[in-house]
A and B are shown apart, each in its own frame.
Chain A
Amino acid sequence: MSLEKPSRDTALDVGVTEDGLDYDALADLLGGHVLDREQHVNAEGFVIRPDEVQEVLSTLKEEAGFDHCSCVTAQEYDDRYESIYHLRKYNDPTQELSIIVPSPKDDPHNESAARVYDTADWHEREAYDLVGIDYDDHPDLRRILLPETWQGHPLSQDYNQDQPQIVSLREHANPLDEDKRSEDDPDTMFVNIGPHHPATHGVLHVETVLDGEQIADIEPDIGYLHRCEEQMCQQGTYRHQIMPYPDRWDYISAGILNEWAYARAAEDLADIEVPEYAQVIRTMSAEMCRIASHELALATFALDVFGDFTAVFQYGIRDREIVQNLLEDLTGQRLMFNYLRLGGVAWDLPEPREEYFEKIRDFLDDLPHKLEEIHDLVTGNEIFQMRCVDTGVLSKDQVKQYGATGPVARGSGVDYDLRRDDPYGYYDELDWNVVTEEGGDNFSRVLVRLREVEESARIIEQCVDLLEQWPEDDREIQANVPRTLRPEPDKEIYRSVEGAKGELGIYIRSDGTDKPARFKIRSPCFSNLQTLPEMSQGEYIPDMIASLGSLDIVLGEVDR
């Protein structure tokens, strides 16, 4: 082993060159495994055999350094099924590679990647649930979003939407009756935490086995808020009909960040150049959303730890309210903004501009003082530290294994922020820092969010300066985009942005019509929530609740 190690380290950048990835080198590494190569807009795709998934992925992970399986997309073609593993690297997410695994139409199955990337567990369960591909050697291939009694796979071609679905109470029996997991150990107790529970942040159901007050086994059960978002997007036209949906994924004031994810993917797919002025407005409004979202995350986390609707919750809401007002002035909406358009934004800044800039500056001027207050009340509190330091610890390796991103990853010292690493918008022109904390515990995640609020404020300030000085005759808010957008057929793209909770990615495949043939959402909360068992196994119930709060999940985005 000691001899192998150095050679492995140098081999970790197989194909890495000055100007991007050399896919030939990667193909050489995989040798005969690569059956075919496809060009996607974001990266090249290697087609491999369905029974060689584990071998190929572990080679890529171990030897080429693809440590981040950001998404698994499954879809059905007329002649085959296909799973796409979107791989990238935590230290440079612009190095991407798609592994395409076709499987036969009559018996779609391929090897599971869950043994290589833990995150593939849930992603493949979702693919099985919605598209109907079987994954061999998967640790626990069950439906994840739909009820277990569901008939058919809704995103497969032969799915009959009119077929009545019978989900009887009897078949969906109360898990309390069985107490199945506590049989082998009489000292444990099975408890359903949620779907109706004060601290699950929505309709999350956590099946928990308790040993006294400690968590012996825990499994999040999701899907209560599944609203067919992917399918709805597949039925809307690129140009206008899809944009309102992203607001409803992470519906807690992160709307513009979500819209940007779609805008970025669709614009790159259709080669739309966004005017610089619009990019600055996008950047500014997106960071406002991030502040609003982080403030609420802090407020609800405090709610979980403090135990009631206390002062801290109200402080968070108070500060968020100001941002909400700013966003309302800009977009006309408080939550469901629908402000971004393909190629720009809906309209320019509100008139009179000076007054609006004044408002933003007032907010930014007050912010340090308010954050100070929150630090006094929350992070400086000894009891709070006692509760949060060293609880819900998530190591760097676990973060990467589960594909966790956003403040959850940065709280564990994984320096991964798409705004800097895979720049879009106006971020690379501005002066700001990526915040990381090394602790990996609940406390670190809170600190990361609080410090990110400061960084967002810096970004907004620079944007305001830029917008203020922007020449009046150059305020172009919208590029020239055809009324009906029809990207060329069979173009595929996976693009992501740094949403409030992490990497929010969109996969789109076009088929020459004005609607996407496949629209897949990679939700950061979905991947982040998978880490909950790792964080809370063996800990006390209150710590599990705190960890759940510090993950800052929004069930609308988890279930989509």
Chain B
Amino acid sequence: MQSAPLPETLANLLRLDPNSTVVMIVTSLIGAALIGTLMMTNTALAGPWAKRKITAAFTDRIAVDRIGPYGLFIIVADAVRLLSKELIVPEGVDRPAWDLAPLVIASTALLGFAVIPMGNGIQLADPEVGLAYVFATASMASVGLVMAGYASNNKYSFLGGLRAVAQNLAYEIPLILTGASVVIFAGSLQMSEIVAAQQQSLIGPLPSWYAFVNPFAFVLFMIANLAEVGRNPFDIPEAPTEIVAGYQTEYSSVYFVLIYLGEFIHIFLGGAIIATIFLGGPAGPVLPGIVWFLIKIWGVFLFTQWARSAVPRVRIDQLIEIGWKGMLVLSLANLLLTAVIVGVTVQ
């Protein structure tokens, strides 16, 4: 299962010397561009098209079907439309921060994909602290949200920013604690190790994916992930009916696209983490690994959209309560239990 990271494979493919630093830098950049493009393509598919189609299916509508097969060319039309909108810079915004926020939101989410093993040797790097690195990059988006909320000079944005922080604090800890229980099972933070540890059979043909080994942790993680990516019932920082659009109220044109892009990449990153640590990564029969990997992250995406269509939003104080009083306790219990079980069985 262990394969060379993507830059090395690329260097070999291009018949260059993998020991040269320059070659490694160049191939790393090429690899990063490839992975970035792959994720952006998924986002482009998800944002203007799949999201509409999925929501329409849930709400008994048809959605986009005018341009191209299944309305797919709406992606192009939307891209042109969004990019040609006027970029409105409101008076009194805190300039560098206001401009940086969309960039931070969009780019930090992409960083996480660097260590995700996507199958067929597509993994940019495989550091020993892989999982810690992914969680770190995923939560950096909150910084962008606060920047956007605070710099916009808009009270709705401000409320949205505050909500984003409160929400992330309440959910990041259970999320990471639940992730840690997987680390105890696998005995490593390294992503490839975690994937490898899930390959044996659990019972019969059922693989020992951690979703099957510890379904409780899986459910906890899925819920915390909904809050992490800000989808119903936890779309509180945006809450259109309450605070207009939260931190993104004042953004238009390219900045709007960047924020949306960031959100969708974030959902996919959440999906990638879930796929990697609970669903065996790129493992699966017949089809190549990368296809299985994409199916899994799209499955998680579908779940978020389902929740968005059918579940009411909780109130901010209720969310904090669920996070600190419910999820945190449950995730600690899960961690403790896992540690005991692993400790007993290993001996």
Q: Using known A-B contacts A313-B59, A314-B59, A314-B60, determine if residue A307 contacts B232 with beta carbons closer than 8 Å.
A: yes
**Which residues 112-127 of B have a CB within 8 angstroms of A?**
none
Q: Which residues of A contact B58 (CB under 8 A)?
A: 310-311
B243 at interface, CB cutoff 8 A: yes
Contact call A383/B308, Cβ cutoff below 8 A: no
Q: Which residues of A contact B347 (CB under 8 A)?
A: none
Contact call A542/B310, Cβ cutoff below 8 A: no
Contact call B155/A189, Cβ cutoff below 8 A: yes
Contact call B318/A386, Cβ cutoff below 8 A: yes
Q: Using known A-B contacts A313-B59, A540-B317, determine if residue A383 contacts B244 with beta carbons closer than 8 Å.
A: no
Q: Which residues of B contact A210 (CB under 8 A)?
A: 159
In the bound assembly, the distance between CA atoms of A213 and B320 in angstroms comes to 13
Contact call B311/A198, Cβ cutoff below 8 A: no
- Quick check: which of B3-11, B81-89, B234-242, B270-278 contacts chain A, the rest being far away? B234-242
Q: Using known A-B contacts A314-B60, A318-B60, determine if residue A308 contacts B240 with beta carbons closer than 8 Å.
A: yes
In the bound assembly, the distance between CA atoms of A313 and B56 in angstroms comes to 12
B61 at interface, CB cutoff 8 A: yes
Q: Which residues of A contact B317 (CB under 8 A)?
A: 213, 540
Interface string of B31-43 (1 = CB under 8 A from A): 0000000000000
Contact call A310/B308, Cβ cutoff below 8 A: yes
Interface string of B135-152 (1 = CB under 8 A from A): 000000000000000000
Contact call A542/B316, Cβ cutoff below 8 A: yes
Residue ID in chain B nearest A540 by CB atoms: B315
Contact call B312/A387, Cβ cutoff below 8 A: yes
Contact call A383/B59, Cβ cutoff below 8 A: no
Contact call A307/B239, Cβ cutoff below 8 A: yes
Contact call B314/A304, Cβ cutoff below 8 A: no
Contact call A197/B309, Cβ cutoff below 8 A: no
B53 at interface, CB cutoff 8 A: no
B280 at interface, CB cutoff 8 A: no
Interface string of A521-560 (1 = CB under 8 A from B): 0000000000000000000111101000000000000000
**Which residues 169-196 of A have a CB within 8 angstroms of B?**
189, 191
In the bound assembly, the distance between CA atoms of A386 and B60 in angstroms comes to 27
Output the least CB separation between B151 and chain A (Å). 17
Instruction: Indicate the member of A311, A318, A377 with the most B CB atoms within 10 Å.
Output: A311
Q: Which residues of B contact A542 (CB under 8 A)?
A: 239, 242, 313, 315-316
Output the least CB separation between A419 and chain B (Å). 32
Q: Using known A-B contacts A311-B59, A541-B243, A545-B242, determine if residue A383 contacts B311 with beta carbons closer than 8 Å.
A: yes
Q: Which residues of A contact B262 (CB under 8 A)?
A: none
Interface string of A305-317 (1 = CB under 8 A from B): 1111111011100
Output the least CB separation between B150 and chain A (Å). 14
In the bound assembly, the distance between CA atoms of A384 and B233 in angstroms comes to 10
A381 at interface, CB cutoff 8 A: yes
Output the least CB separation between B140 and chain A (Å). 25
Contact call B241/A198, Cβ cutoff below 8 A: yes
Q: Using known A-B contacts A213-B316, A386-B318, A543-B315, determine if residue A199 contacts B242 with beta carbons closer than 8 Å.
A: yes
Instruction: Indicate the member of B156, B232, B242, B312 with the most A CB atoms within 10 Å.
Output: B312
Q: Which residues of B contact A310 (CB under 8 A)?
A: 55, 58-59, 232, 308-310
Taking a contact as CB atoms closer than 8 A, the residue among A213, A304, A315 that contacts B241 in the complex is A304
Output the least CB separation between A540 and chain B (Å). 6
Q: Which residues of B contact A197 (CB under 8 A)?
A: 244
Taking a contact as CB atoms closer than 8 A, the residue among B159, B244, B318 that contacts A198 in the complex is B244
In the bound assembly, the distance between CA atoms of A306 and B155 in angstroms comes to 22
Contact call B242/A541, Cβ cutoff below 8 A: yes
A414 at interface, CB cutoff 8 A: no
Residue ID in chain A nearest B310 by CB atoms: A311
**Which residues 308-354 of A have a CB within 8 angstroms of B?**
308-311, 313-315, 318
In the bound assembly, the distance between CA atoms of A313 and B61 in angstroms comes to 12
Q: Using known A-B contacts A213-B316, A383-B233, A540-B317, determine if residue A309 contacts B241 with beta carbons closer than 8 Å.
A: no
Instruction: Indicate the member of B155, B309, B313 with the most A CB atoms within 10 Å.
Output: B313
Output the least CB separation between B247 and chain A (Å). 15
Taking a contact as CB atoms closer than 8 A, the residue among B60, B156, B242, B312 that contacts A383 in the complex is B312
- Dominant secondary structure at the A interface: helix
Contact call A308/B232, Cβ cutoff below 8 A: yes
**Which residues 250-302 of B have a CB within 8 angstroms of A?**
none
A303 at interface, CB cutoff 8 A: yes
Q: Which residues of A contact B313 (CB under 8 A)?
A: 305-307, 383, 387, 542
Q: Which residues of B contact A543 (CB under 8 A)?
A: 315
Contact call A213/B159, Cβ cutoff below 8 A: yes
Q: Which residues of A contact B156 (CB under 8 A)?
A: 191
In the bound assembly, the distance between CA atoms of A210 and B309 in angstroms comes to 30
Q: Using known A-B contacts A213-B317, A540-B316, determine if residue A198 contacts B59 with beta carbons closer than 8 Å.
A: no
Q: Which residues of A contact B242 (CB under 8 A)?
A: 199, 307, 541-542, 545
Q: Which residues of A contact B244 (CB under 8 A)?
A: 197-198
In the bound assembly, the distance between CA atoms of A542 and B238 in angstroms comes to 12
Output the least CB separation between B302 and chain A (Å). 15
Contact call B240/A306, Cβ cutoff below 8 A: no
Output the least CB separation between B92 and chain A (Å). 11
Residue ID in chain B nearest A192 by CB atoms: B155
Output the least CB separation between B230 and chain A (Å). 11
Interface string of A201-230 (1 = CB under 8 A from B): 000000000100100000000000000000
**Which residues 45-88 of B have a CB within 8 angstroms of A?**
55, 58-61
In the bound assembly, the distance between CA atoms of A308 and B234 in angstroms comes to 12
Q: Which residues of B contact A386 (CB under 8 A)?
A: 314-315, 318
Q: Using known A-B contacts A191-B155, A383-B233, determine if residue A307 contacts B241 with beta carbons closer than 8 Å.
A: yes
**Which residues 238-294 of A have a CB within 8 angstroms of B?**
none
Output the least CB separation between A204 and chain B (Å). 13
Contact call B241/A545, Cβ cutoff below 8 A: yes
Residue ID in chain B nearest A208 by CB atoms: B155
Q: Which residues of A contact B309 (CB under 8 A)?
A: 310-311
**Which residues 205-227 of B have a CB within 8 angstroms of A?**
none
In the bound assembly, the distance between CA atoms of A500 and B240 in angstroms comes to 27
Taking a contact as CB atoms closer than 8 A, the residue among A189, A213, A307, A318 that contacts B312 in the complex is A307
- Which B residues fall within an 8 A CB radius of A? 55, 58-61, 155-156, 159, 232-233, 235, 239-244, 308-318
| Given contact pairs A307-B232, A542-B239, a sample of 13 additional A-B residue pairs in the complex whose CB atoms are under 8 Å apart | A197-B244, A306-B313, A307-B239, A308-B240, A308-B308, A311-B310, A314-B59, A314-B60, A318-B60, A377-B310, A383-B233, A386-B315, A542-B315
9 interchain residue pairs of minimum CB distance: A314-B59, A199-B241, A307-B313, A306-B312, A383-B312, A384-B312, A542-B315, A304-B241, A311-B59
13 contacts between A and B (CB under 8 A): A210-B159, A306-B313, A307-B313, A309-B55, A309-B59, A311-B60, A314-B60, A386-B315, A387-B312, A540-B315, A540-B317, A542-B239, A542-B242
